[in-house]
Amino acid sequence: MPISETMVQDIVQEVMAKMQIAEAPAGKHGVFKDMNDAIEAAKKADQIVRRMSMDQREKIITCIRKKTRENAEILARMGVDETGMGNVGDKILKHHLVADKTPGTEDITTTAWSGDRGLTLIEMGPFGVIGAITPCTNPSETILCNTIGMLAGGNTVVFNPHPAAIKTSIYAINLLNEASLEAGGPDNIAVTVEKPTLETSNIMMKHKDIPLIAATGGPGVVTAVLSSGKRGIGAGAGNPPALVDETADIRKAAQDIVNGCTFDNNLPCIAEKEIVAVSSIVDELMHYLITENDCYLASKEEQDKLTEVVLAGGKLNRKCVGRDARTLLSMIGVNAPANIRCIVFEGPKEHPLITTELMMPILGVVRAKDFDDAVEQAVWLEHGNRHSAHIHSKNIDNITKYAKAIDTAILVKNAPSYAALGFGGEGFCTFTIASRTGEGLTSASTFTKRRRCTMSDSLCIR
Ligand code: NAD
């Protein structure tokens, strides 16, 4: 049987991969002291990835999915131990979600026009080496999810992870490279530095071999990336309001909102951060929040104490972010019952615990005189991030009006916020929601560039 070029390439890749296994230090694949070395290694890997068939990319992705599932608990525990944020059970679910629902190469499609004058294709090609900045709130989830998408698009990736989650990030990056090697791919499909800093981030952003930067984090990092002079995908902050109108199933709304808000102790950027409810149903909603959904009603005095602790000196206290409700209450001297999952209170939209993106299970409830007033207050609370918003309503006119007014990348109707990530809802998963730059929920196709390929007067065989 004649040996095809593809077969030769496969053999070469396998041999190279084996050589790299022998060279790589155990447990440290893809980790470098120097950012320039990391980029160089990702560039070398990119030379191999570019020549790979889609089938070969998909083989590596299948192996990444398997390893993500196998290591979900380890990664979840590492994330909680290292950052002190979130909870292990939900983080395990998040890793399973990444493994099962992050799109792979099937997301890379071709558009074709065929007619009398020939055939024209739009193909989605790789950028090369992508620079990625990741948050401490979903560290390994973002790294694994980004890499699946970026590799499916034919790229390799250099990460500058949040320093507070570097051990967890390195563990994930090592897994990614192990998966690649096991599937016959190269080492260093994803790389990082041992000690990420703003300086290493700057080196990455300015490097001539990085054509695209994907930043997932707060407003500072997105602004930095958009000022880099490179193409940037900016997945920034949110402060998602959950609007409840009088047509909603109030009992279910209370349950859905608490489930979404408390998921991983409110760390996901899409999670419900406050409620805006029309006046006629506020009392009923409060009743269900407290009596059926394990919410603790904070008194005025407790709200003030919480504000002092959570927003100490007017700044978000990192020691409170991603903590569970009982821990937060213990910080103000309240010994809450074991079942308490969330802290609730009624207040004006300007209340600091309502207007700030806290990322902890504290849900302020803002009373609106009618639906239009609720929309206005919710839009104000979203701060123009255009990130995520949620609504509980059976009135499609109301839902439509809200969707148009708030103009967010994500709008969940009548479900917990995590339904938007494909968890109890349709659609794929991502941990990078490009709200600022408009790509929305990122996937493999987001990390590609469109290329037109035209054959004039031929190859139309209709
Ligand atoms: P963060 O902004 O503190 O850090 C995010 C990343 O940016 C880190 O790697 C950090 O080191 C880096 N960084 C921060 N400022 C920088 C600068 N000036 N230059 C270069 N790098 C910089 O955010 P965090 O606490 O890790 O994560 C929580 C924030 O991220 C929240 O605001 C949340 O809404 C947002 N977030 C958004 C998404 C999304 O998909 N849109 C996903 C997760 C988190």
* Contact call for residues 174 and 148 (beta carbons, < 8 A): no
pLDDT in tens, 102-145: 999 999 999 999 999 999 999 999 999 999 999 999 999 999 99
Find the 169 Cα to ligand 1 centroid distance in Å. 14
Rounded distance between C-alpha atoms, residue 263 and residue 133, angstroms: 23
361 lines ligand 1 (CB under 6 A): no
207 lines ligand 1 (CB under 6 A): no
Q: State residue 281's pLDDT score.
A: 98
Q: State residue 22's pLDDT score.
A: 36
Rounded distance between C-alpha atoms, residue 159 and residue 30, angstroms: 10
Which residue from 91, 102, 136 has its CB within 8 A of the most atoms of ligand 1, so it is best to mutate?
136
Q: State residue 14's pLDDT score.
A: 53
Residue with tokens 């997932």: 216
Instruction: Provide the pairing of β-strand 440-441 with 433-434.
Output: antiparallel
* Contact call for residues 326 and 291 (beta carbons, < 8 A): no
CA angle 385, 386, 390 (to 5 degrees): 115
| DSSP run (H or E) holding 453 | strand 448-456
137 lines ligand 1 (CB under 6 A): yes
Please state, as a whole number, how many other Cβ atoms lie within 10 Å of the Cβ of residue 350. 10
Per-residue pLDDT of the chain (462 residues; tens, 9 = 90+): 455 555 545 554 554 444 443 343 445 899 999 999 999 999 999 999 999 999 999 999 999 999 999 999 999 999 999 999 999 999 999 999 999 999 999 999 999 999 999 999 999 999 999 999 999 999 999 999 999 999 999 999 999 999 999 999 999 999 999 999 999 999 999 999 999 999 999 999 999 999 999 999 999 999 999 999 999 999 999 999 999 999 999 999 999 999 999 999 999 999 999 999 999 999 999 999 999 999 999 999 999 999 999 999 999 999 999 999 999 999 999 999 999 999 999 999 999 999 999 999 999 999 999 999 999 999 999 999 999 999 999 999 999 999 999 999 999 999 999 999 999 999 999 999 999 899 999 999 999 999 999 999 999 888
State how far the alpha carbon of 407 is from the alpha carbons of 261, 317, 386, 442, in Å: 21, 30, 6, 17
> Radius of gyration of the chain from Cα atoms?
24
Which residue from 85, 102, 133 has its CB within 8 A of the most atoms of ligand 1, so it is best to mutate?
133
Find the 292 Cα to ligand 1 centroid distance in Å. 34
Q: Which of 202, 182, 252 minimizes the C-alpha distance to 394?
A: 252
Q: State residue 217's pLDDT score.
A: 97
Provide φ and ψ at 116, rounded to 5°.
Answer: -55, -35
Rounded distance between C-alpha atoms, residue 156 and residue 153, angstroms: 9
Question: What distance separates the 2 farthest-apart alpha carbons in the chain?
Answer: 82
pLDDT in tens, 90-105: 999 999 999 999 999 9
Q: State residue 462's pLDDT score.
A: 85
User: In angstroms, how far is CA 284 from the centroid of its own chain?
Assistant: 33
Which residue from 144, 199, 269, 437 has its CB within 8 A of the most atoms of ligand 1, so it is best to mutate?
269
Atom of ligand 1 nearest to the CA of 238: 34
* Contact call for residues 30 and 180 (beta carbons, < 8 A): no
